[in-house]
């Protein structure tokens, strides 16, 4: 018998809409604990200034802490890739329920294909079952995604569907891609609740996918040197999911 999946990670009481956080004017000391994303220490314009040398050292220590924080979050997000077969199923269902979808169906399906091929080629898929896959070397995969998500994306007019998706999946797997799949899977699960029996239609799966999709959006905004198409689609899907959970604050 298939072992029932339980959701042990703490989930906040609600999904808060993610706003992009700008650089803070507050200087965080390297010894002040876990740094806040996008909080950069002040640096003197003169590299020969003695005070600047001290702050450069502090900035180095800060960046190590920030990278460790990003990597820890990335590893937690990546661990949910084990549900890729379920996410794949939910995304196919998504387009049967959503009559006006912002993200074109061919792009989403090609992204999933690209991700599957890329994970298998790199040896990250250890075992695949009906509802789950076993991820091998998850920490290394998180590092790869962190590296890809921090690089620029060069989109040219001559890109076809496969080439476009290769910029965000496969060997270039990025965090905004993963967040988009998670968030759309959560929205789809809300639509299919009550239709048939599926252990992944429960509230735990929906909240977990929504929460880590939300976290993916925040990380993508922190890491990427530019706003990508996938980030824009993820932000839209995140907003739609938040509205479904919390209602429209303007009404």
Q: Quick: pLDDT tens for 181-211.
A: 999 999 998 876 555 555 555 678 898 999 9
Distance CA 90, CA 94 (A): 6
* CB neighbour list of residue 19: distance below 8 Å, 6 or more residues apart: none
pLDDT score of 238 more than 50 = yes
For residue 189, give Cα distances in angstroms to 67, 198, 229.
33, 10, 24
Instruction: State both tokens at 65.
Output: 């802490």
Alpha helices in 43-194 (DSSP H): 50-78, 84-97, 105-121, 138-149, 161-166, 175-192
pLDDT score of 237 more than 70 = yes
pLDDT for residue 250:
53
Q: Quick: pLDDT tens for 131-179.
A: 888 898 999 999 999 999 999 999 999 999 999 999 999 999 999 999 9
| Upper half-sphere CA count for residue 97 (Cβ side, 13 Å) | 17
Candidates 98, 88, 86; CA nearest to 201 is 86
Q: Quick: pLDDT tens for 70-116.
A: 999 999 999 999 999 999 999 998 888 766 788 999 999 999 999 99
């Amino acid at each position: 018998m298939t072992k029932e999946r339980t959701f042990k990670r703490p989930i906040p009481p609600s999904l808060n809409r993610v706003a992009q956080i700008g650089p803070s004017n507050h200087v965080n000391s390297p010894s002040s604990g876990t740094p806040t994303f996008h909080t950069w220490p002040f640096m003197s314009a003169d590299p020969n200034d003695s005070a600047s040398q001290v702050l450069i050292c502090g900035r180095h220590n800060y960046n190590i802490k920030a990278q460790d924080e990003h990597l820890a979050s990335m590893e937690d997000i990546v661990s949910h890739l084990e549900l890729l077969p379920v996410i794949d199923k939910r995304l196919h269902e998504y387009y049967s329920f959503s009559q006006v979808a912002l993200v074109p169906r061919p792009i989403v399906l090609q992204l999933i294909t690209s991700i599957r091929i890329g994970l298998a080629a790199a040896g990250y898929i250890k075992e695949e079952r009906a509802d789950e896959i076993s991820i091998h070397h998850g920490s290394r995969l998180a590092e790869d995604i962190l590296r890809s998500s921090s690089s620029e994306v060069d989109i040219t007019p001559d890109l076809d569907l496969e080439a476009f998706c290769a910029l965000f999946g496969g060997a270039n797997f990025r965090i905004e891609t993963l967040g988009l799949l998670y968030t759309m899977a959560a929205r789809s699960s809300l639509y299919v609740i009550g239709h048939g029996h599926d252990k992944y239609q429960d509230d735990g799966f929906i909240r977990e996918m929504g929460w880590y999709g939300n976290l993916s959006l925040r990380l993508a905004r922190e890491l990427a040197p530019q706003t990508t198409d996938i980030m824009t689609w993820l932000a839209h899907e995140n907003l739609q999911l938040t509205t479904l959970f919390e209602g429209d604050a303007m009404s």
